[in-house]
Chains A and B, each alone.
Chain A
């Protein structure tokens, strides 16, 4: 795999290419990196959906789908992600690699051009986004915001983030906060927002497939030729990392659930002054991020306190979240045990086996990333946001060098911030 990392091919447009023959598809994504805010979140989330309704050349879904079918079922998917407090929105496409279709199809060029058309030449009426499209997509977005409650496990994690980071932009959900945020967007407000960010946003483009970087660069430049670039005023999005915590906050909410959802939020603390991604990942795998982790083996397997218990690190925002599903009566026991397992690490109760299992899990995960185009894209976007210019295999090497001390240093810096419990209406406590 040959990687060319973050080449600036136009003002504030960065292209990362990974060249490999091993996949049967090529993939390409275009991301606008924006500042996450309460004011703009829903508009940002709505944009890719509206863009995918059609462009000047393919003005409705049916003609656009026909064009994609013709390109051997190329897929174009909306991208809406948050990396810390950076809101990344855009389009992702994967398509059959040229080696598997009749010669001369040039799918890379045709697909990239189509992405450029969708991004830069949307279907408009009198210079504004088609109002039918805006109306129907804002309704869909409002429904998706309402539907967040459907997955209780995920919902409990989002609610914790919202409550724990109240007042920080991070508390704003990827899709926007309330259904009303989506519903009040108009063709005018969306068009204005779109024009603005198109000019000022930093753009990250990723390609993975069999084409050489030079060919990709030409294809992308051609496709984005009409991208307006501000004279000087680009907006560089960033994340405000809060390292301190106050008194621990406890939140309880009720919904119609049979299984309680207990989520616990921590700040990674002072360690973020000089963050080491490798140590953070190994710590997380050891604590709750793998099937050999302390949470999995003790809270779930040994004590049967819950059906699942796992931890995840949001590296950009420097928080750690434990998510678990428990019997509602077992709240006190489960919470105590989740915290006790972290205490044990802080006290140095980490065996050589546990450590090496954790390292292996992460190294395997990283190699898996290299076997999957979408995961690779997501990895490199995170790297770009953190201005880190290394590949998954380099990170895997760093993981190999993480010591017990490194892990204890991470654990030592972590502070409990908030606890969120989702129970049913009758459940005691």
Chain B
């Protein structure tokens, strides 16, 4: 395995790619009791249309998430109990761009790793068990739809995009998941759950070589082609709709506004784009910005206010939002301030201080085993090295930040989503 050392943050990463195409990242962490392994596939809620065996397939919304649930079901064993008998707590998540399975344990790491690799790569679905899961997931979908944070985000994505699958919930709808059959699941598993479309990330007090050996022993040897995906036509830089507003039973209004980033970059450029974006947003509207202080003292925002970027397949947005008694007033204040941002350039000392703060934030993320693993995932799938963020951050200039705000927070580019109390 290849060793990469990062002096600034005092971390090491062992890296390898197996002949079957699987990439492995191991971050040794001495002194921690807990080890974490995350086994992920580049297949998420947005991967609905893909080409397999020379033919295009369209799948209903929610398959990736449904598949995640069903992977835990096996013919004659209970995966949860298997993990638990080795003291591990397993879990999984599905986002728009990936599905990840993980566990944490404080002992029997190797046994747990074997269980993880096996259960994720060996599908077992029946019509009965799919029907039963439809009931469980329908409940989960209802619960998500009761969550105002989810609603405000989904509505913003529906306002911004006309076709990109980010418009739909990763979990799908009660109707869309009703279309799923055992056959659909086998299909999608075959298309996306093979080593060359997957990555294994481990952090903890572990032996990197052993991890590679176990992985080789358990996973299939052959390398397969990865399915081509289609996320719909190129979107206009402008929003599809300017505004969405709904009512729910909540205490005070919440809102989220955002704009599509001009071009969604890839690889190291994407990493840079995200770092600049997040940095620019905190320079412009973060906790220590004049704008934040003013809106806060006027009682227009509270400490739920945030601003940042969000990346997903074939798209990326700059967003801001939170709770507010008057979302429209916040929105107008932000756009007015954005127009003046370049002219009244933020001062140098503030910029340098924020750099220090951003450095602290990067370092803080290295305390969590799970955090270390999950930050490797987008890096791996999109071809950048998340542990190099600090160096990239060093090179960001005040001009980078100013043009990010100028280019993206223009009134005509922004859409806003509001959830108001029903009474």
**A residues adjacent to B (C-beta < 8 A):** 20-25, 60-62, 65-66, 68-75, 94-96, 99-100, 132, 136, 139-140, 143-153, 255-259, 290-292, 300, 304, 306-307, 325-327, 353, 356-357, 360-361, 363-364, 367-368, 370-373
Contact = CB atoms under 8 A, between A and B. Distances in A.
Contacts of B10: 24, 99-100
Contact of A24 (B146, B358, B364): B364
A66 B350 contact: yes
Top 6 nearest A-B pairs (CB, nearest first) are A73-B360, A146-B251, A65-B288, A73-B357, A22-B31, A307-B139
19 contacts: A22-B32, A24-B366, A65-B287, A69-B353, A69-B354, A73-B357, A149-B249, A150-B251, A151-B147, A255-B249, A256-B249, A257-B249, A259-B139, A259-B143, A259-B146, A291-B84, A300-B136, A364-B88, A364-B104
Contacts of A363: 87, 106
B356 A72 contact: yes
Interface in B228-256: 248-252
A198 to B, nearest CB: 24
Contacts of B136: 300, 304, 307
A100 B364 CA distance: 11
Give the interface centre of A73, A144, A363 by most chain B CB atoms within 10 Å: A73
Interface string B144-168: 0111100000000000000000000
Give the interface centre of B90, B136, B363 by most chain A CB atoms within 10 Å: B363
B363 A24 contact: yes
Contact of B250 (A95, A149, A327): A149
A221 B329 CA distance: 46
B296 interface: yes
Contacts of B368: 372
A258 B145 contact: yes
A100 B9 contact: yes
B33 A370 contact: yes
A143 B251 contact: yes
Interface in B303-321: 303
Interface string B363-380: 110111100000000000
A307 B143 contact: yes
Q: How large is the interface on B (under 10, 10 to 19, 20 to 34, 35 or more residues)?
A: 35 or more
B1 interface: no
A290 B84 contact: yes
Given A259-B146, A368-B33, 20 more contacts: A22-B32, A24-B366, A68-B357, A69-B288, A72-B357, A74-B360, A96-B364, A100-B10, A143-B323, A147-B323, A150-B148, A153-B143, A259-B139, A304-B132, A307-B140, A353-B85, A360-B84, A371-B32, A372-B367, A373-B367
B356 A291 contact: no
B84 A361 contact: yes
A78 to B, nearest CB: 9
B220 interface: no
B383 interface: no
B81 interface: yes
A421 to B, nearest CB: 16
Contacts of B297: 61, 132, 136
Given A143-B251, A150-B148, A304-B136, A356 B360 contact: no
Contacts of B85: 353, 356-357, 360
A60 B293 CA distance: 8
Contact of A146 (B252, B287, B353, B354): B252
A266 B84 CA distance: 27
Contacts of B143: 153, 258-259, 307, 325
Contacts of A148: 251
B19 interface: no
Interface of B: 9-10, 29-34, 80-81, 84-90, 104-106, 132, 135-136, 139-140, 142-143, 145-148, 248-252, 287-290, 292-293, 296-297, 299, 302-303, 323, 325, 350, 353-354, 356-361, 363-364, 366-369, 422
B363 A257 contact: no
Contact of B287 (A61, A140, A371, A373): A61
A143 B33 contact: no
B367 A147 contact: no
A258 B142 contact: yes
A150 B304 CA distance: 14
A146 B146 CA distance: 17
Nearest to B90: A291
Contacts of B354: 69
A144 B303 CA distance: 11
Give the interface centre of A258, A327, A372 by most chain B CB atoms within 10 Å: A258
A24 B353 contact: no
Give the interface centre of B139, B350, B422 by most chain A CB atoms within 10 Å: B139
A66 B252 contact: no
B89 A364 contact: yes
B148 to A, nearest CB: 6
Contacts of B364: 24-25, 73, 75, 94, 96
A364 B296 contact: no
A98 to B, nearest CB: 12
Contacts of A325: 139, 143
Given A139-B299, A152-B146, A259-B143, A70 B356 contact: yes
Nearest to A100: B363
Contacts of B350: 66
A60 B368 CA distance: 32
B34 A368 contact: yes
Contact of B422 (A66, A256, A257): A256
Contacts of A144: 302
Contacts of A372: 367-368
A357 B296 CA distance: 48
A232 to B, nearest CB: 39
B418 to A, nearest CB: 14
Nearest to B148: A150
A368 B106 contact: yes
A120 B345 CA distance: 36
B135 to A, nearest CB: 5
A245 B86 CA distance: 39
A258 B33 contact: no
Contacts of A150: 148, 250-251
Nearest to A300: B136
Given A149-B249, A149-B250, A257-B146, A62 B323 contact: no
A75 B287 CA distance: 11
Nearest to B254: A150
B112 to A, nearest CB: 11
Nearest to A365: B89
Give the interface centre of B105, B249, B350 by most chain A CB atoms within 10 Å: B249
Contacts of A145: 251
B360 to A, nearest CB: 3
Contacts of B356: 69-73
B54 to A, nearest CB: 39
